[in-house]
Amino acid sequence: MLWYIGIFLVSIGVVFLFLGALGIYRMPDVYTRLQAGTKATTLGALGTIIGVGLIQPEWFWKTLIIAIFIAISNPISSHALARGSYKNGIKPFLNDEDGIDAYADVKEEEVDR
Residue 47 reports pLDDT greater than 70: yes
Q: According to the model, what pLDDT value does residue 17 have? A: 93
Q: The whole model's pTM is what? A: 0.75
Condensed to tens digits (0 to 9), the pLDDT of residues 5-29 reads 999 999 999 999 999 999 888 888 8
* Overall domain count for the chain: 1
Condensed to tens digits (0 to 9), the pLDDT of residues 50-94 reads 999 999 999 999 999 999 999 999 999 999 998 898 888 887 776
Which residues constitute the domain of residue 19? 2-93+100-112
DSSP string over 43-96: HHHHHHHHHHHHHSGGGHHHHHHHHHHHHHHHHHHHHHHHHHHHHTTPPPP-SS
